A = this chain, B = another copy of it.
Amino acid sequence: MLNTSVSAASEWAGVVGPEYVIVDPSELRAAETATFATSHRVPAIVRPANRAEVQECLRIANRSGTPVYPVSSGKNWGYGSRVPPSDGCVLLDLGRMNRIVDFSEEMAYVTLEPGVTQAQLYAFLEARGSRLWMDSTGASPHCSLIGNTMERGFGHTPYGDHFDHVCGLEVVLPDGDVVETGFARFASAQAAPLYRWGLGPALDGLFSQSNFGIVTRMTLWLMPAPEYFQAYYFRTPSDSGLAGLIDALRPLRMDGTIRSASHIANDYKVLSALEQYPWRETAGRTPLRGPVLDQLRRKLKIGAWNGSGALYGTRGQVKEARRLLKRNLKGKASALEFLDDRKLEFASRFAPLYERISGWNLTRMLAVLKPVYGLMKGIPTDHPLFSTYWRKRTVPPESMDPDRDRCGLIWCSPMAPNDGFHAQHITALATGLVLGHGFEPAISLTAITERTLACIISLTYDRDVPGEDQRAMACYHDLLETLARDGYYSYRLSIGSMSSMSQPGSYSALLQRLKQTVDPNGVLAPARYVPESAGKAAWR
């Protein structure tokens, strides 16, 4: 295996150039590092410049029997960062392929390569004075759009379900062949960047959360900026208020009054966005609970559950949506507030004055509010990264990097019905379990579709504390199992847990047959979402 890799490495150097084959031990160790304990080794990093080089790399992988694992930006934080789900994979880093290859203001789309980041697309649109908005995740401005979309990540505008707003994938298959999905397979098809299904079987879904091909190009739909934008915020003081909120919002999400994903976060989640762990006040005890938590809640005006969302449209449309939102949340939410650009500007200017009068630290609140507000307009931010330093005993550095800084972060992301009973049940279950393991259950619920809530449970810890890696992973697995017992399954998995989905049966068998067909040598991202067949796994 090692010999094969070495000979493959020289072949790869011939394709991408020796400077783009990285074997420097410190860079490799960095690539093997995630926000939780991992053990898989990365023998080399190869950085192709274009599709043709990706094709060649895959051909070499097949000849040499060396598996490869593609990453776009590698910012799969909380789920495994750049670390492959199986050992000995050469990292295929697609970051150099960062061209925006097509753009239409009128038809509202952009076609791009895997290396294009959220920040890059945002700057591209700004530079053009475009009237189009992108959707952004809170993960990082330097997160790849293709990478996040293929992981089926989400954001907070009406285009928040990322995989639902793309088409025309260019895919390099494991054997080096290239296909384009949808109408793009036909010569100069006018609707190629516009219509998802194409003709015949629709294949896009095959290439998300899988190891069936490497997406080297994708068309992403963009949202025309609305005439008017208004964010809303609300909270409920007690845990028991959550169900009512969810049931009050659902009809508005279903009928299109609310076009984007409203986001409801618990006290821990909001707190970890504002501050680091109160080590002094708790005298170093974990997890945070009881009087210290209550005190912080009061000081920072945090509810048990804290909602945010936005209204998009003409002034008339937003006004009517606001009326309906007020009507539905009446008696369910406390402190329903609306915020637009003008009001935010005003608040920023007068924050110091307001603070002196009220004693409330509005400046700090605005520092958190603004990025969240911007996210609802699709503006990338790295602010949410701050919370990964929650349990650290040092202040986050200017340039945050959770992998490097040994921030512990595991995301568990079960999907629940967009329904009050389920919201209450799943969060109560997770809260008790996570506290029991000694961590703070930072939880958010996001109505990413009309009918579903993505429940994101963040396990945040300090990897420098001995034993925490093991305890956090044990907690994560307990969560996965406990939630599954009640029918809540994750929409996305961390690299160490992908085998948890592979119950034997006809579904796994079908996935394995499809994998065997497109990748008979098993060289592309083994074990990524698709269970390995018994023979393959044993062989490795």
Interface residues of A (CB under 8 A from B): 106-109, 152, 158, 163, 173, 177-180, 183, 185-191, 194-210, 212, 221, 224, 226, 251, 254-257, 259, 312-314, 316-317, 320, 323-324, 415-419, 422, 449-452, 484, 486-493, 501, 505-507, 509-511, 513-514, 516-518, 529-530
Contacts and interface: CB of A to CB of B under 8 A. Distances in A.
A323 B315 CA distance: 12
13 contacts: A107-B419, A163-B197, A177-B506, A179-B510, A189-B487, A194-B451, A196-B449, A197-B209, A200-B210, A200-B511, A201-B530, A510-B518, A516-B517
A195 B185 CA distance: 28
A84 to B, nearest CB: 16
Nearest to A206: B201
A249 to B, nearest CB: 14
CB-CB nearest 5 A-B residue pairs? A202-B205, A201-B210, A194-B451, A316-B320, A190-B487
A152 B182 CA distance: 13
A487 B188 contact: yes
Contacts of A255: 224, 226, 312-313
A194 B254 contact: no
Contacts of A323: 316
A194 B449 contact: yes
A381 B503 CA distance: 45
Nearest to A107: B451
Contact of A417 (B158, B194, B517): B194
A54 to B, nearest CB: 14
Contacts of A206: 201-203, 205-206
Nearest to A449: B195
A204 B201 contact: no
Contacts of A324: 314
A505 B484 CA distance: 43
Given A316-B323, A317-B317, A422-B190, A507 B180 contact: yes
A484 B152 CA distance: 33
A484 B186 contact: yes
A109 B451 contact: yes
B530 A200 contact: yes
A202 B191 contact: no
Contacts of A416: 190-191
Contacts of A198: 491
B489 A194 contact: no
A489 B201 contact: no
B209 A201 contact: yes
Contact of A489 (B199, B415, B491): B199
A199 to B, nearest CB: 6
Given A205-B206, A320-B314, A417-B194, A489 B108 contact: no
A183 B489 contact: yes
B224 A492 contact: no
From A188, A191, A486, name the one whose CB has the most chain B CB atoms within 10 angstroms: A191
Contacts of A312: 255-256
A200 B256 contact: no
Contacts of A209: 197, 199-202
Contacts of A314: 257, 320, 324
Given A158-B256, A188-B487, A489-B183, A501 B200 contact: yes
Nearest to A505: B185
Contacts of A108: 254, 450-451
Given A179-B507, A199-B489, A224-B255, 7 more contacts: A152-B197, A195-B452, A201-B209, A201-B210, A221-B450, A257-B313, A513-B517
